[in-house]
Amino acid sequence: MLDAGRGLDWTVADMKMKILAAFAGVGMVLLATGCISTVSGTKTPAMSFGEDSFSGRYERSPDQVYQAAVTVLNNTGVLITEYIPHDTTNSVRSLYGKVNKCNVWIRVAPVDPKITEVTVQARTPGGLRDQDLVHEVEKEIALQLQSMR
């Protein structure tokens, strides 16, 4: 009768191993999650796996590119904030909005008097990158600039 419990020793060890593996998995996820810098100079919680932004350069003034970016963000989603990042000159402007429930940041900066660069960054609600949305928004800005001619 005293030896009857010995047959269950493997189940206890197996359960301990599964619990330890679950804690290790949660720990890895927590270590991978952190804050990332956005193209507009702010920080946001996210998982930083891979590149999440794309840039395009156009032979237009910063005001024209900025207006095209505002129009695209309003047409495809919701514009939440317009601002000038503190660490730059007044010629650099940024936008923050939501498109398809994803966070989208857009930065418009002059490269020289004739060329302006627009950088688009997007993250899903879970903090993962959304390259398809980044390219879509950047192309929409290019198309909007073309229609403004």
- CATH code where residue 75 lies: 3.30.310.50
SS (H, E, C) 48-80: CCCCCEEEEEECCCHHHHHHHHHHHHHHHCEEE
Residue 138: inside a domain: yes
Tell me the pLDDT tens digit for each residue of 106-117. 999 999 989 999
What pLDDT is attached to residue 128?
A: 83
Stretch 45-74: mean pLDDT: 87
Residue 42: inside a domain: yes
Residue 13: inside a domain: no
CA 101 – CA 82 distance, rounded (Å) = 18
**What pLDDT band is residue 1 in, cutting at 50, 70 and 90?**
very low
Residue 28: inside a domain: no
Residue 77: inside a domain: yes
Domain count, the chain: 1
Stretch 26-55: mean pLDDT: 70
What pLDDT is attached to residue 30?
A: 56
- Cα–Cα nearest to 50, from 140, 129, 117, 125: 129
Residue 14: inside a domain: no
What's the domain range around 118?
35-147
What pLDDT is attached to residue 8?
A: 55
What pLDDT is attached to residue 12?
A: 67
Residue 100: inside a domain: yes
Q: Determine contact, residues 121/104, Cβ cutoff 8 Å.
A: yes
Tell me the pLDDT tens digit for each residue of 17-35. 888 777 777 766 655 566 7
User: How many residues are present in the chain?
Assistant: 149
pTM of the model: 0.74
- Range name among 36-45, 68-77, 117-126 with the lowest pLDDT average: 36-45
Residue 15: inside a domain: no
Residue 86 has pLDDT above 70, yes or no: no
